[in-house]
């Protein structure tokens, strides 16, 4: 038996080595140092409460004990990450993939996010006592495995030398659960069902992806269930306690969320490299994390590409970024991209480097005008447009920031814009390119007939063929005590749209949509103010949007002047 077989119980076959080499090429990674890699499975990590969590350790044979340790803590299983752990081991890291509490053999009960800080500290303490740990630890992971890295930051662990986080953010409440104060129904239901079934459907990441597509089809028909507290039981036969908890704590400022929000822990985070996507639901707060890290004096950089959550491009960038960042921080290698900010400018198809986020800009107000016109000049006279939002026939989602397909990414919005419950305002065809980079904000003067209503605002790029491609959107829940009404019932509503970087090409049009929902991505506002989880009564909402000189509804666009010399085509990530 070879040394590899003694270490792993698995043969390090030539076929496995060739497959890993091809995978490295697919993901654009630099050449590997070795193909001789071993894995030790089912290591036990003791927790303070007496339970144990399981981990696999990947490392190169011959000198591997001197390599830095890369820690990945995930609830999604160790085996699917094996091929990617091997890629890092081949490039000089010991990779420890640990299963979170209550998942894939680890003891205790899985309570999403709420045990990660304590369990992460215990895992670091265990690593510190291992004879093969040289004393240097880095962390890597996407989505939940990024949140486990933020949980570690709360303890300010000195042994963590660098972190690479993809598609994740410190403020989980405002991203994953209640963006704009509206419950992210599709994401929470899909994720809960996936967690419930994942250990029965474990295996390769290809198999798991196929399972996700099956779930997406079933979900689309099930999320009309009322009350919302019955959705989990309808989908997979039992109540998911975490899903019920999320419904029971909708209000901003609820202390129930304090344990899992890490926005105050930026100073404790290791030097961090972030990877984000323009259509990822974590994006706004991930950019805020970057700003927070820099303000705390922490070395940080961020890459934002044309990706949605879980897309191949984002995962490829995550792998490539981690190898580059760790090589720079631990081994003194030159960073491939020295700029702190790298963003993909949609429309131009180019990457640009920026010294900070957001870049200097000229904020232009584009106003709503009669006959569906969007223009920089203020509206000429008093007027308003009206639509009715009926939760019994809710406005459908088309593209955007969600998980998984078909409600993610940039899509043609033509069918959505043809509905009577969507107001559409378009500019004239542009005489010159218009580049928008930064946060987008809409200020709308509205008069909802009900006290409870939502506003969903979307920015689109309309090409010469008339196809309307979503670039940025945002949603906000209007509450009776959150906004002051004028004597005639009108209120000023501010909607923070997703940040973007996009060039509206000459001949294209800038378009703004105004509506009151995007089902099933966001839970419908039923119009009654009943408790979120128990509500069943539906009332249609008539909404009036003002476009007058004294109440000028508009969208604010951060316009940046870019020349061809500012744009450069790159091959990575």
Digit-coded pLDDT (tens) for 186-235? 999 999 999 999 988 655 555 656 666 677 778 888 899 999 999 999 99
Q: For the chain, what percentages of helix, strand and coil (3-state, to nearest 5) are there?
A: 30, 30, 40
CA dihedral sign of residues 121, 122, 128, 132: negative
Residue 560 exposed, middle or buried by CB count within 10 Å (0-12, 13-18, 19+) = buried
State the average pLDDT over residues 103-110: 98
Confidence band of 15 (pLDDT split at 50, 70, 90): confident
Q: Which residues pair with 468 in a beta bridge?
A: 462
Percent of the chain clearing pLDDT 70 (strictly above): 93
In this prediction, residue 211 carries a pLDDT of 62
Confidence band of 567 (pLDDT split at 50, 70, 90): low
Mean pLDDT is lowest, of 149-153, 199-203, 495-499, for 199-203
Q: For residue 138, is pLDDT > 90?
A: yes
The contacts of residue 254 (CB under 8 Å, 6+ apart) are none
Question: Which pair of structure tokens corresponds to residue 116?
Answer: 């990660």
CA 444 to chain centre: 26
In this prediction, residue 404 carries a pLDDT of 63
For 119-152, letters b (16+ CB in 10 Å) and e give bbbbbbebbeeeeebeebbbbbbbbbbbbbbbbb
Closest CA to 559 of 512, 502, 494: 502
Strand 509-515 with 423-426, pairing? antiparallel
Q: For residue 4, is pLDDT > 50?
A: no
Closest CA to 286 of 273, 274, 298: 274
Torsion of CA 433, 439, 442, 448, to 10 degrees: 140
CA dihedral sign of residues 67, 70, 71, 75: negative
State the average pLDDT over residues 397-420: 91
Torsion of CA 463, 307, 228, 174, to 10 degrees: -110
CA 374 to chain centre: 30
Q: Give CA–CA dist 112/129, Å, rounded.
A: 27
Q: For residue 398, is pLDDT > 50?
A: yes
For 209, phi then psi, to 5°, come to -65, -40
Q: Give CA–CA dist 553/427, Å, rounded.
A: 15
Q: Give CA–CA dist 544/386, Å, rounded.
A: 4
Tell me how crowded residue 280 is: count the other CB atoms within 10 A of its CB.
30
Cβ–Cβ under 8 Å, residues 363 and 559? yes
State the average pLDDT over residues 437-456: 97
Q: Give CA–CA dist 323/329, Å, rounded.
A: 10
Q: Give CA–CA dist 418/432, Å, rounded.
A: 28
Torsion of CA 289, 293, 294, 298, to 10 degrees: -150
The chain-wide mean pLDDT, for the chain, equals 92
pLDDT in tens, 316-335: 999 999 999 999 999 999 99
State the average pLDDT over residues 398-416: 89
Q: Give CA–CA dist 231/248, Å, rounded.
A: 14
Q: Which residues pair with 111 in a beta bridge?
A: none
**Phi-psi region at 384: left, alpha or beta (left = phi > 0; alpha = psi -120 to 50):** beta
The contacts of residue 519 (CB under 8 Å, 6+ apart) are 223, 394, 395, 396, 397
Domains and CATH numbers, the chain: 1-135 (3.40.50.1820), 184-249 (no CATH), 362-566 (2.60.120.260)
* Range among 61-65, 76-80, 485-489 rated most confident: 76-80
Residue 565 exposed, middle or buried by CB count within 10 Å (0-12, 13-18, 19+) = exposed
3-state secondary structure of 537: coil
Higher-confidence residue: 563 or 78?
78
Please give the C-alpha separations between residue 11 and each of 8, 55, 211, 358, in angstroms, as whole numbers: 8, 20, 29, 50
Question: Which pair of structure tokens corresponds to residue 236?
Answer: 């997979």
Q: At what angle do helices 185-197 and 241-248 cross, to 10 degrees?
A: 160
Cβ–Cβ under 8 Å, residues 53 and 60? no
């Amino acid at each position: 038996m070879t040394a590899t077989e003694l270490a792993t119980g698995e043969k390090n076959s030539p076929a496995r080595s060739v497959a890993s080499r091809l995978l490295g090429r697919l993901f654009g990674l630099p050449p590997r140092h070795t193909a001789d890699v071993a894995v030790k499975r089912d290591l036990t990590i003791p927790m303070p409460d007496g339970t144990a969590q399981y981990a696999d350790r990947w490392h190169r044979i011959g000198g591997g004990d001197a390599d830095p340790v890369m820690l990945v803590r995930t609830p999604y299983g160790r085996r699917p990450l094996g091929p990617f752990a091997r890629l890092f081991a081949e490039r000089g890291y010991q990779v420890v993939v640990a299963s979170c509490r209550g998942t894939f053999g680890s003891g205790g009960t899985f309570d999403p996010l709420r045990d990660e800080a304590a369990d992460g500290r215990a895992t670091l303490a265990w690593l510190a006592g291992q004879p093969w740990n040289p004393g240097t630890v880095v962390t890597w992971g996407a989505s939940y495995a990024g949140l486990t890295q933020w949980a570690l930051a709360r303890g300010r662990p000195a042994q963590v030398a660098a972190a690479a986080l993809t598609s994740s953010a410190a403020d989980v409440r405002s991203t994953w659960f209640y963006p704009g104060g509206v419950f992210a129904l599709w994401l929470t239901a899909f994720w809960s069902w996936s967690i419930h079934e994942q250990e029965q459907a474990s295996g390769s990441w290809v198999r798991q992806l196929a399972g996700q597509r099956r779930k997406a089809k079933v979900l689309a028909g099930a999320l009309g269930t009322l009350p919302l507290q019955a959705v989990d039981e309808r989908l997979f036969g039992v109540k998911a306690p975490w899903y019920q908890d999320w419904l029971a704590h909708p209000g901003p400022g609820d202390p129930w969320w304090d344990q899992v929000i890490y926005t105050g822990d930026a100073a404790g985070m290791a030097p961090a490299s972030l990877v984000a996507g323009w259509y990822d639901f974590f994006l706004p707060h991930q950019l805020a994390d970057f700003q927070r890290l820099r303000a705390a004096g922490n070395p940080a950089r961020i890459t934002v590409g044309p990706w949605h959550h879980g897309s191949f491009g984002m995962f490829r960038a995550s792998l490539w970024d981690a190898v580059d960042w760790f090589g720079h921080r631990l081994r003194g290698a030159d960073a491939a991209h020295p700029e702190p900010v790298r963003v993909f400018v949609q429309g131009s198809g180019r990457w640009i480097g920026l010294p900070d986020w957001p870049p200097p800009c000229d904020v232009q107000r584009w106003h709503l005008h009669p006959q569906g016109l969007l223009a920089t000049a203020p509206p000429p006279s008093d007027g308003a447009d009206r639509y009715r939002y009926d939760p019994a026939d809710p406005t459908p989602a088309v593209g955007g920031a969600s998980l998984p397909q078909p409600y993610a990414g940039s899509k043609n919005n033509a069918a959505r814009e043809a509905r009577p419950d969507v107001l559409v305002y378009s500019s004239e065809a542009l005489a010159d390119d218009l580049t928008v980079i930064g946060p987008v904000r809409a200020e709308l003067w509205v008069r909802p007939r009900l006290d409870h209503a939502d506003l969903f605002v979307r920015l689109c790029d309309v090409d010469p063929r008339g196809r309307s491609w979503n670039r940025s959107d945002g949603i906000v829940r209007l509450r009776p005590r959150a906004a002051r009404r004028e004597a005639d019932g009108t209120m000023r509503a501010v909607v923070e749209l997703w940040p973007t970087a996009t060039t509206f090409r000459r001949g294209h049009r800038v378009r703004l949509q105004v509506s009151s929902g995007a089902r099933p991505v966001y839970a419908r506002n039923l119009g009654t103010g009943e408790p979120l989880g128990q509500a069943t009564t539906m009332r249609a909402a008539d909404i009036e949007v003002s476009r007058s000189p004294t109440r000028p509804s508009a969208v604010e666009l951060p316009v940046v002047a870019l020349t061809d010399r500012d744009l450069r085509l790159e091959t990575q990530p």
